[in-house]
């Protein structure tokens, strides 16, 4: 089992950055890849199906916000990449096309959690490498669950809006004020995120890696 004391000084910052970049890049590329499979090649022709991080960097989401969190020792890492362009009118499968594209990102993050869990279980103890994959798994779990919140512009909203297609009044409110609602939750209802995002992400990563939730909290 990985002990916190085995983590070299400064490695937490480096691994946090690596984990965040991997999570957001694979997340966005997955959106574009599935959109391309369903008939929309907008992301492909925009060069956004590449895994090159430079093609996906958002000045605020990928650089400034993560750096502020790291410098201030906020205790967690958060960020995002430039959204992949998708023309939903080109997608096949009607109203379910956008849902499939939206869920591709969280599904990919989930797969990365599973892969990292397998690697952690197979790597020898007493090295720093398990910590790298633990952090990658944690950040991907956080990103997956956060994006499944059914509030625009997050991915989960596409699923909710399908079931609200006969309630355009509610749909308009969510699309217009979704971002403000989301910011309000983050600022004034941190308990919501702890219960439905951070906590479940810890337990998901624990299940994948075999490391107890208490150790994961101490590491993170």
CA nearest to 153, candidates 98, 114, 210: 98
For residue 15, what are its two tokens? Answer: 């691994």
3-state helix, strand, coil in the chain (%, to 5): 70, 0, 30
The backbone region for 72, taken as left when phi is positive above 0, alpha when psi lies in -120 to 50, beta otherwise, is: alpha
Task: Kindly give the confidence (pLDDT) of every residue in the chain, 220 residues in length, as a single tens digit, with 9 standing for 90 and above.
Answer: 333 334 444 557 788 889 999 999 999 999 999 999 999 999 999 999 999 999 998 888 888 888 887 787 766 677 889 999 999 999 999 999 999 999 999 999 999 999 999 999 998 876 667 888 999 999 999 999 999 999 998 999 988 888 888 888 888 888 899 889 988 988 888 889 889 999 999 999 999 999 999 988 876 6
What residue ranges do the domains of the chain occupy?
4-219
Active-site positions read: 28
pLDDT of residue 46: 94
pLDDT of residue 136: 94
Preceding amide of 105 cis, omega within 30: no
pLDDT of residue 68: 84
Q: Which residue in the block uniquely carries the two structure tokens 């694979």?
A: 26
Task: Write b or e for each residue in 143-177: b if 16 or more Cβ atoms lie within 10 A of its Cβ, otherwise e.
Answer: bbbbbbbbbbebbbbbebbeeeeeeeeebeebeee
């Amino acid at each position: 089992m990985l002990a916190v004391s085995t983590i070299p000084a400064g490695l937490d910052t480096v691994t946090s950055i690596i984990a965040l970049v991997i999570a957001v890049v694979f997340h966005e590329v997955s959106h574009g890849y599935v959109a391309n499979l369903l008939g929309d090649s907008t992301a492909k022709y925009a060069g956004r199906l590449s895994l090159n991080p430079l093609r996906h960097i958002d000045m605020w989401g990928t650089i400034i916000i993560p750096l502020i969190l790291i410098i201030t020792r906020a205790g967690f890492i958060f960020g995002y990449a430039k959204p992949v362009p998708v023309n939903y009118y080109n997608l096949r499968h009607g109203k379910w096309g956008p849902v499939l594209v939206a869920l591709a990102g969280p599904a990919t993050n989930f797969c990365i959690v599973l892969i990292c869990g397998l690697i952690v279980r197979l790597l020898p103890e007493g090295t720093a490498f398990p910590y790298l994959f633990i952090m990658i798994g944690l950040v991907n779990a956080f990103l997956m669950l956060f994006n499944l919140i059914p509030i625009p512009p997050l991915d989960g909203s596409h699923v909710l809006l399908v079931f609200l297609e006969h309630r355009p009044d509610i749909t308009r409110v969510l699309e217009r004020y979704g971002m403000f609602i989301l910011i309000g939750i983050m600022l004034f209802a941190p308990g919501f995120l702890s219960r439905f995002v951070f906590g479940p992400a810890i337990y998901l990563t624990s299940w994948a890696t075999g490391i107890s939730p208490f150790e994961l909290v101490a590491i993170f």
